[in-house]
């Protein structure tokens, strides 16, 4: 099956998995490509209901009250925060090093899982939209029998993925998916169980990731990182000429 069809299938599954009272089909379809200029204004306006700080507090709560529009404004509002850095260094490198053999295990002890959760919580505090550590947080909750918490955070992760999926099709530059961190390109594609075989940067401001099933020729998928790079170079002007 074509990867884009797989992603659409996953998208449909995610939509069915979320509470129908949270939002209707018309609101889902209305998300589409983000209006980054509007999100930049509203996310930095202290009086806006879509102010980033307000949405951050809502996101970190253990509930499922955020709307699709709020998830979209929260995800892309990340770009316009003072501490935003798309190439931010790893949090707690020593603990991350200790976790590498634990991540490689097929069976993990409760102590292993606690270490995973400790690191996930540290990363999420630093970068709330880290898709990989949100996944690890959910995994630990499930393995430890905290199913209500697992469902709440799965809901949040699902909606972040829906935001990315709604931003395009990935088929070409005009329909590229928009992400706020380069790592999200790989995390998003991993949903389909495909293998990334190659990647390259398009100077117009796009990452092109080639992925496909093992043994099959890969397909190019386009990710729009123009605003990501714009915000990076605003903070690191010396890097712009390199």
Q: Where are the domains of the chain?
A: 3-239
pLDDT at 16 over 60: no
Contact yes or no for 216/2 (Cβ under 8 A): no
Q: What is the pTM of this model?
A: 0.88
Q: Is 53 helix (H, G, I), strand (E, B) or coil?
A: helix
Distance CA 221, CA 191 (A): 14
DSSP letter for each residue of 123-134: HHHH-TT-HHHH
For the stretch 135-191, pLDDT in tens is: 999 999 999 999 999 999 999 999 999 999 999 999 999 999 999 999 999 999 886
* Burial (CB count within 10 angstroms: exposed 0-12, middle 13-18, buried 19+), residue 136: buried
Query: Distance between CA 185 and CA 179 in Å, rounded?
Result: 7
Tell me what pLDDT residue 192 has.
67
pLDDT, tens digit, 9 for 90 and up, residues 84-94: 999 999 899 99
């Amino acid at each position: 099956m074509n990867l884009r069809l797989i992603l659409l299938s996953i998208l449909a599954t995610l939509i069915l998995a979320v509470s129908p009272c949270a939002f209707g089909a018309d609101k889902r379809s209305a998300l589409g490509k983000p209006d980054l200029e509007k999100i930049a204004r509203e996310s930095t306006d202290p009086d806006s209901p879509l102010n980033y700080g307000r949405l951050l507090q809502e996101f970190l709560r253990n509930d499922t009250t955020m709307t699709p529009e709020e998830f979209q404004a929260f995800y892309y509002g990340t770009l316009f925060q003072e501490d935003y850095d798309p190439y931010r260094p790893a949090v707690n490198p020593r603990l991350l090093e200790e976790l590498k053999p634990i991540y490689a295990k097929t069976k993990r002890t409760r102590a292993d899982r606690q270490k995973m959760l400790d690191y996930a919580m540290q990363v999420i505090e630093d970068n709330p939209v880290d898709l990989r550590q949100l996944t690890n947080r959910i995994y630990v909750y499930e393995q430890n029998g905290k199913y209500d918490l697992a469902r709440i955070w799965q809901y949040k992760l699902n909606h972040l993925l829906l935001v990315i999926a709604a931003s395009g099709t990935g088929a070409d530059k005009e329909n590229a998916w928009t992400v706020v961190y380069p790592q999200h390109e790989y995390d998003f594609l991993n949903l389909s169980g495909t293998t990334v075989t190659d990647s390259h940067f398009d100077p117009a401001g796009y990452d092109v990731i080639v992925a496909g099933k093992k043994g099959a020729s890969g397909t190019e998928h386009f990710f729009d990182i123009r605003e990501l790079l714009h915000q990076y170079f605003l903070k690191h002007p010396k890097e712009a000429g390199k």
